[in-house]
């Protein structure tokens, strides 16, 4: 598995490795727990649940719920999965207890259920268990990735969103990134990014950002057609997805096919517009992307210059943050080079860590 460092640049003897994009987590979905609302509950176990959430010791109830997950009754399975989900959500210390009690494999079995509601409950419970770092390895090792991908393909809207969040959490273990990519998750996340609601788009972009730190997943994302929704979302300032889409794009453009797709989808005018009218953070991300696009291509530099990039770059070099100023100055120098094709004078990409 090849995990890449964040982009860095050197130009005319100046090292810009310290100009990495500010990875402000507020740009992304927190996925701290499911946000699907409280499931309806009519059984007497609801009272037990309330007592367990307030109690110091919920071990006995957890053991009973794990047993109920394996019941022959779908209704009992639903009730048990729902209550496990709530206990894991409302009392984080129970997440390890639930996993150690043997809940993970039965919950994964529920994710493969033909009953859409049972599948949704299983996905949501696994999501809440995956919020604990200690549980991520056992969830992946127990075979959760493929069922989560299946739910991402065929589940209810809530199951799809929570599957994306669960896959995000599992992808925070580097060894899982390639496995998730190979499982077919990336085209489904791209589809969610393109056609889902706002929360689905936010969750999909966050998962893709995590997964695309691996080169093979960048290629999968580009081949899945990610560039079209990314460019469309960056162009829509009312979508509240400009930052999120640009962060994902900033990872992808280290791949040649991604730069080609970006240009083909009309991304250069969109990036230039962001430099002109975006927020300070958006401007800095857009300039960093344009630097990567232009560093080895006279053709792309010409396109960027013809889109009128130099005036807003000059303005940014005078009024942006220190990092934004440096990036803008570097890009201006590139754009002002003779366009006859003196490749020897172009920027060289820094070595990628493996």
Q: Is residue 25 part of a domain?
A: yes
Q: Is residue 95 part of a domain?
A: yes
Residues 16 and 97 in one domain: no
Residues 180 and 68 in one domain: yes
Distance CA 118, CA 105 (A): 15
Decide which of 184, 219, 251 is a domain's last residue: 184
Q: Is residue 195 part of a domain?
A: no
DSSP lists the bridge partners of residue 3 as 214
The pLDDT value recorded for residue 90 is 81
CATH code assigned at 253: 1.25.10.10
Full residue range of the structural domain in which residue 77 is found: 31-38+50-184
Residues 248 and 351 in one domain: yes
Residues 54 and 26 in one domain: no
Residues 173 and 63 in one domain: yes
The pLDDT value recorded for residue 111 is 96
Per-residue pLDDT of the chain (354 residues; tens, 9 = 90+): 555 655 544 433 434 344 344 444 445 556 655 555 444 444 445 545 554 554 555 788 899 999 999 999 999 999 999 999 999 988 888 999 999 999 999 999 999 999 999 999 999 999 999 999 999 999 999 999 999 999 999 999 999 999 999 999 999 999 999 999 999 999 999 999 999 999 999 999 999 999 999 999 999 999 999 999 999 999 999 989 999 999 999 999 999 999 999 999 999 999 999 999 999 999 999 999 999 999 889 999 999 999 999 999 999 999 878 999 999 999 999 998 866 544 433 443 333 222
The pLDDT value recorded for residue 60 is 87
CA angle 250, 151, 136 (to 5 degrees): 65
Residues 160 and 265 in one domain: no
Decide which of 149, 166, 184 is a domain's last residue: 184
Q: Is residue 190 part of a domain?
A: no
Is residue 244 within 8 A of residue 231, CB to CB? The reply is no
Residues 94 and 168 in one domain: yes
Q: Is residue 221 part of a domain?
A: no
Q: Is residue 252 part of a domain?
A: yes
Phi-psi group of 308: left, alpha or beta (phi > 0 → left; psi -120 to 50 → alpha; rest → beta): left
The pLDDT value recorded for residue 92 is 83
Lookup result for tokens 């299946």: 150
Residues 171 and 247 in one domain: no
Decide which of 184, 208, 235 is a domain's last residue: 184
The pLDDT value recorded for residue 55 is 52
Residues 169 and 77 in one domain: yes
The pLDDT value recorded for residue 2 is 54
First to last CA, the chain: 8
DSSP lists the bridge partners of residue 11 as 14
Rounded to 5 degrees, φ, ψ at 15 are -95, 125
Residues 336 and 275 in one domain: yes
The pLDDT value recorded for residue 59 is 85
Residues 129 and 234 in one domain: no
Q: Is residue 218 part of a domain?
A: no
Total of domains in the chain = 2
Residues 134 and 80 in one domain: yes
Distance CA 152, CA 143 (A): 15
Q: Is residue 22 part of a domain?
A: yes
Lookup result for tokens 């599957």: 163
């Amino acid at each position: 598995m090849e995990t890449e460092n964040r982009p860095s640049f050197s130009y005319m003897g100046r090292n810009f490795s310290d100009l990495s994009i500010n990875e402000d987590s507020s740009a992304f979905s927190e996925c701290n727990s499911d946000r699907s609302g409280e499931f309806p509950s009519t059984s007497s176990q609801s009272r037990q649940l309330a007592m367990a959430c307030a109690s110091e010791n919920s071990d006995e109830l957890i053991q009973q719920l794990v047993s109920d997950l394996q019941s022959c009754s779908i209704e009992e399975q639903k009730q048990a999965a729902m209550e496990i989900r709530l206990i894991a959500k409302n009392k984080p210390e129970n997440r390890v207890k639930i996993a150690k009690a043997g809940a993970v494999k039965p919950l994964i079995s529920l994710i493969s259920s033909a009953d859409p509601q049972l599948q949704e409950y299983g996905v949501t419970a696994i999501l809440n268990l995956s919020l604990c770092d200690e549980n991520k390895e056992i969830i992946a090792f127990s075979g959760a990735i493929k069922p989560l991908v299946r739910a991402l393909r065929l589940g209810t809207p809530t199951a799809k969103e929570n599957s994306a969040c669960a896959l995000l959490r599992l992808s925070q273990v580097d060894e899982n990134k390639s496995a998730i990519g190979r499982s077919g998750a990336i085209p489904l996340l791209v589809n969610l990014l393109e056609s889902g609601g706002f929360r689905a788009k936010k969750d999909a972009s966050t998962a893709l950002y995590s997964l695309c730190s691996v080169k093979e997943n960048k290629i999968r994302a580009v081949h899945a057609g990610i560039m079209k929704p990314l460019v469309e979302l960056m162009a829509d300032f009312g979508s509240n997805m400009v930052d999120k889409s640009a962060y994902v794009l900033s990872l992808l453009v280290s791949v040649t096919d991604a730069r080609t797709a970006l240009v083909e989808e009309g991304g250069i005018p969109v990036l230039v517009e962001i430099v002109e009218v975006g927020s300070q953070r958006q401007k800095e991300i857009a300039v960093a992307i344009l630097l990567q696009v232009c560093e080895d291509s006279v053709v792309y530099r010409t396109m960027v210059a013809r889109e009128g990039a130099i005036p807003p770059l000059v303005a940014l070099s005078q009024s942006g943050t220190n990092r934004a100023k440096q990036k803008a100055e570097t890009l201006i120098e590139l754009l002002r080079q003779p366009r006859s094709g003196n490749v020897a004078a172009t920027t060289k990409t820094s070595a990628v860590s493996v």
